[in-house]
């Protein structure tokens, strides 16, 4: 049965399209507008009406999943907020279907320039979430220290996800977040001591 959409975005059709895009990525199948439309059981014009490109569909699907699985936390401390966010991110990536989706977009990015820009935008958004947590509690932290912290978090996540030498688990993310929070506090204390 075909999903009826009309001229306004229909939530059921929208979700079917986003789900179709992520399922194709997870299965390692070519992600084309024709494939997305066929799996979602909508016309290609429905997709074109709501998104400018295949990459935009994939980006929205990935960003929506990331926001659902790793919402911004407010625990009352840098350590707590960072641990909650990173542990949730690692827990989401431990799900086989989501992990396959993330690996799938990397594979697409190697073959397609537009997919590469989608991955870059998605990664930038995820990095920004960590920056916001750090800046909330340590606004004086040096930019280079924040950059290193973000690289460590996402470096461990993607290395484990793509190479598979060790599992991606919430506990790993939580411990990593605590270590990085301590490292950031030390770097801030050192900077303040030099100024004094």
The CATH number of the domain where 35 resides is what? 1.10.10.60
C-alpha span between 78 and 74 (Å, rounded): 9
Mean pLDDT of 67-73: 69
Confidence at residue 195, expressed as pLDDT on a 0 to 100 scale: 46
Same domain, 93 and 185: yes
How many folded domains does the chain comprise? 2
Same domain, 20 and 77: no
Confidence at residue 108, expressed as pLDDT on a 0 to 100 scale: 81
For residue 30, give its domain range. Answer: 11-51
Same domain, 39 and 124: no
Confidence at residue 74, expressed as pLDDT on a 0 to 100 scale: 80
Mean confidence (pLDDT) of the chain:
84
46: number of Cβ within 10 Å: 22
pTM here is: 0.75
Query: Cα 164–166–171 angle (5° rounding)?
Result: 130
6 is a domain residue: no
Distance (Å) of CA 190 to CA 58, 125, 144, 145, 193: 43, 29, 14, 12, 5
Same domain, 93 and 163: yes
C-alpha span between 191 and 170 (Å, rounded): 31
Same domain, 39 and 109: no
Model confidence pLDDT, tens digit, residues 141-187: 888 888 999 999 999 999 999 999 999 999 999 999 999 999 998 88
Among candidates 39, 50, 37, 51, which has minimal Cα distance to 6?
50
154 is a domain residue: yes
How confident is residue 37, by pLDDT bands cut at 50, 70 and 90? very high
């Amino acid at each position: 049965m075909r999903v009826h959409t009309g001229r306004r975005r229909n939530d059921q059709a929208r979700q079917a399209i986003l789900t179709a895009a992520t399922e194709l990525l997870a299965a390692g199948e070519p992600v084309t507008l024709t494939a997305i439309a066929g799996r979602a059981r909508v016309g290609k014009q429905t997709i074109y009406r709501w998104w400018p490109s295949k990459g935009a569909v994939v980006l929205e699907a990935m960003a929506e999943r990331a926001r659902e699985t790793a919402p911004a936390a407010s625990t009352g401390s840098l350590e707590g907020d960072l641990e909650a966010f990173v542990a949730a991110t690692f827990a989401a990536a431990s799900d086989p279907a989501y992990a396959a989706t993330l690996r799938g977009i990397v594979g697409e990015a190697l073959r397609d320039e537009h997919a590469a820009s989608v991955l870059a935008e998605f990664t930038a958004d995820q990095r920004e979430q960590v920056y916001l947590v750090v800046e909330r509690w340590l606004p004086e932290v040096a930019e280079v220290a924040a950059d290193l912290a973000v690289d460590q978090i996402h470096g461990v996540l993607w290395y484990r996800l793509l190479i598979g030498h060790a599992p991606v688990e919430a506990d790993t993310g939580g411990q990593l977040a605590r270590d990085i929070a301590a490292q950031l506090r030390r770097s801030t204390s050192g900077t303040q001591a030099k100024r004094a």
